A and B are shown apart, each in its own frame.
Chain A
Amino acid sequence: ETGVTQSPTHLIKTRGQQVTLRCSSQSGHNTVSWYQQALGQGPQFIFQYYREEENGRGNFPPRFSGLQFPNYSSELNVNALELDDSALYLCASVSGSGTGELFFGEGSRLTVL
Chain B
Amino acid sequence: QKEVEQDPGPLSVPEGAIVSLNCTYSNSAFQYFMWYRQYSRKGPELLMYTYSSGNKEDGRFTAQVDKSSKYISLFIRDSQPSDSATYLCATHTGGFKTIFGAGTRLFVKA
Binding-face segment, A13-21, A64-72, A96-104: A96-104
Instruction: Decide yes or no whether A62 CB sits under 8 A from chain B.
Output: no
A43-B44, A90-B43, A104-B43 known; A56+B100 contact, CB < 8 A: no
B49, A105: Cβ atoms under 8 Å? no
Whether A56 pairs with B95 at a CB distance below 8 angstroms is yes
Q: Residues 77-110 of chain B: 1 if any A CB is under 8 Å from the residue's CB, otherwise 0?
A: 0000000000010101011111111110000000
Contact A58 B97 (CB under 8 A): yes
Total residues of chain B contacting the partner, CB 8 A: 27
Cross-chain contact A105 with B43 (CB below 8 angstroms): yes
Interface residues of A in 49-71 (CB under 8 A from B): 55-56, 58
A55 in contact with B96 given A43-B88, A99-B32, A99-B49 (CB within 8 Å): yes
Nearest to B8 among chain A residues (CB) is: A40
Number of interface residues of A (CB under 8 A): 27
Q: Which residues in A have their C-beta under 8 angstroms from that of B98?
A: 33, 43, 45, 100, 102
Chain A residues with Cβ under 8 A from B49's Cβ? Answer: 99, 101
- What residues of A have a CB within 8 angstroms of the CB of B4 in the complex? 42
Q: A48: CB under 8 A from chain B?
A: yes
Q: Please, what's the 1-or-0 string for B37-70, where 1 marks a CB less than 8 Å from any CB in chain A? A: 0000111111001010000000000000000000
Contacts of B6 in A (CB 8 A): 42
- Say yes or no: A100 contacts B92, CB within 8 Å: yes
Bound Cα distance from A8 to B35, whole angstroms: 27
Contact between chains at A90 and B44 (CB < 8 Å): yes
Contact of B101 among A42, A94, A99 (CB under 8 A): A42
Chain A contacts to B: CB under 8 angstroms: 2, 4, 31, 33, 35, 40-45, 48, 55-56, 58, 90, 92, 94, 99-107
